[in-house]
């Protein structure tokens, strides 16, 4: 059992670590393309007909006509999906990384090259053009008898700086006379303290909380001055509000995370276990010599029941985290037992925290 304890929030944090400016965000791009130059690990065209169709369309745009009744049996071509994140304020001519994933039955994309493919946003406009040689971190080998060994995922690769931006995303950053800061973790205390910290540093009336997640800050209208202004704001430090009392239990790994503000009301807990051991064995009944009897095998089952002691420990009013951990460890509770204890405390109304089991 591994107990991880969150430390109390006492250090000062920067605004840039607690919040982000509204409207300054990534935009997702997606596209479709062909990877060529594979070493016989491409799509099987009988099961992925769209690969042949895409290749015919591409060759037609390049002036090569493929007869309608001809279906090339391609092993070095794979149809792929392309996706990337377009960062905020990205300008035409800059490059971004892209991820290429097989959508057919290609065995591996290792050694392939992506041909020019447009990347589109949610509005249907093309924002970048992708092309380049793939870097694949995995590999796979297969034998003639159908055996196969694969390391990592060879059907997915990346192309660093593989797409060139062609269109800038409109931004509302320079509009209006204010900006909005959105907290990464909504909290009324943090929103209030952030507003007070900005006002103490830049003057009263500069910032005002809108709700538990957003703070409006008055900003200059000039774009250049606004950039400098936000640079000052995001480096202001404050003491964030403490997180809510919460206990998180990972039932698969046995990891338990207990928040610092967890408290327990008066409660008595009895912890015990019942062990049942079933042993199967066989007895052989051998007949006397010259008795013309038969050897008989008879099963024998031994059942042993052991009940361990049931230690009881008492939680007083306002028991702290350290006392909870010490009491649970003293009785040698396993992860499953700890979960049962916490759930029992919650059902009894003695656990003053949210219990989350994942």
Query: Which pair of structure tokens corresponds to residue 60?
Result: 């037609």
Give pLDDT tens digits for 295-317.
776 776 665 655 555 555 555 66
CA gyration radius for the chain?
Answer: 33
Taking the chain, what is the end-to-end CA distance rounded to the nearest angstrom?
A: 16
Whether residue 202 sits in one domain with residue 179:
yes
Same domain, 31 and 19: no
Residues 46 and 132 in one domain: yes
| Residue 198 and residue 157 share a domain | no
Q: For residue 296, tell me if it sits in a domain.
A: yes
- φ, ψ of residue 52 in degrees (nearest 5): -65, -40
Q: What is the mean pLDDT of the chain?
A: 79
User: How many angstroms from the chain centroid is the CA of residue 139?
Assistant: 24
Residues 44, 158 share a domain? yes
The structural domain count of the chain equals 3
Query: What is the per-residue pLDDT across 74-99, written as a single tens digit (0 to 9) for each?
Result: 788 889 999 999 999 999 999 999 99
pLDDT score, position 244: 76
User: Pick from 204, 238, 272: which residue ends a domain?
Assistant: 238
User: Is residue 193 in some structural domain?
Assistant: yes
50 and 152 in a common domain: yes
Shared-domain flag, residues 76 and 196? no
Mark whether 46 and 153 lie in a shared domain: yes
Mean of pLDDT values over 218-228? 89
Average pLDDT on 106-120 reads: 90
**Measured between alpha carbons, how far is 313 from 324 in angstroms, rounded to an integer?**
10
Backbone angles phi, psi at 64, to 5 degrees: -105, 120
Q: Which domain holds residue 88?
A: 27-165
Nearest to residue 33, comparing CAs of 103, 110, 106? 103
pTM score of the predicted model: 0.66
CB atoms within 10 A of CB 55: 20
Q: Which two tokens stand for residue 166?
A: 């062609």
Residue 232 lies in a domain: yes
Cα–Cα nearest to 219, from 24, 27, 56, 60: 24
Pick from 134, 165, 196: which residue ends a domain? 165
Domain contains 4: no
């Amino acid at each position: 059992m591994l107990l991880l304890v969150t430390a109390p929030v006492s250090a000062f944090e920067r605004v840039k670590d607690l919040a982000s400016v509204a409207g300054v965000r990534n935009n997702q791009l997606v596209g479709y393309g062909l990877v060529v130059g594979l070493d016989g690990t491409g799509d099987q065209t009988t099961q992925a007909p769209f690969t042949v169709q895409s290749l015919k369309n591409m060759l037609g745009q390049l002036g090569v006509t493929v007869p309608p009744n001809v279906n090339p049996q391609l092993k070095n071509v794979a149809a792929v999906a392309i996706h990337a994140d377009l960062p905020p304020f990205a300008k035409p001519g800059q490059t971004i990384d892209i991820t290429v994933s097989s959508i057919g039955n290609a065995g591996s994309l290792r050694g392939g090259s992506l041909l020019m493919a447009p990347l589109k946003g949610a509005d249907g406009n093309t924002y970048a053009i992708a092309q380049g040689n793939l870097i694949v971190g995995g590999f796979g080998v297969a034998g003639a008898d159908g055996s196969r060994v694969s390391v990592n995922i060879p059907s997915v690769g990346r192309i660093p700086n593989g797409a060139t931006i062609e269109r800038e995303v409109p931004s509302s950053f320079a509009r209006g006379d204010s900006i909005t800061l959105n907290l990464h973790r909504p909290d009324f205390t943090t929103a209030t303290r952030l507003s007070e910290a900005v006002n103490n540093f830049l003057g009263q009336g500069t910032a005002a909380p809108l709700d538990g997640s957003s703070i409006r800050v008055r900003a200059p209208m000039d774009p250049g001055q606004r950039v400098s202004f936000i640079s000052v704001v995001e480096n202001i430090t404050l003491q964030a509000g403490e997180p809510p009392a919460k206990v998180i239990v990972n039932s698969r790994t046995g990891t338990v995370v207990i928040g610092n503000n967890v408290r327990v009301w008066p409660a008595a807990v009895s912890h015990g276990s019942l062990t049942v051991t079933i042993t199967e064995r066989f007895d052989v009944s051998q007949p006397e010599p010259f008795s013309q009897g038969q050897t008989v095998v008879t099963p024998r089952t031994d059942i042993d029941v052991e009940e361990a002691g049931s230690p009881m420990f008492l939680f007083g009013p306002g028991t702290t985290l350290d006392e909870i951990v010490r009491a649970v460890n003293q009785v040698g509770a396993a992860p499953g037992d700890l979960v049962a204890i916490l759930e029992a405390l919650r059902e009894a109304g003695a656990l003053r925290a949210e219990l989350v089991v994942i």
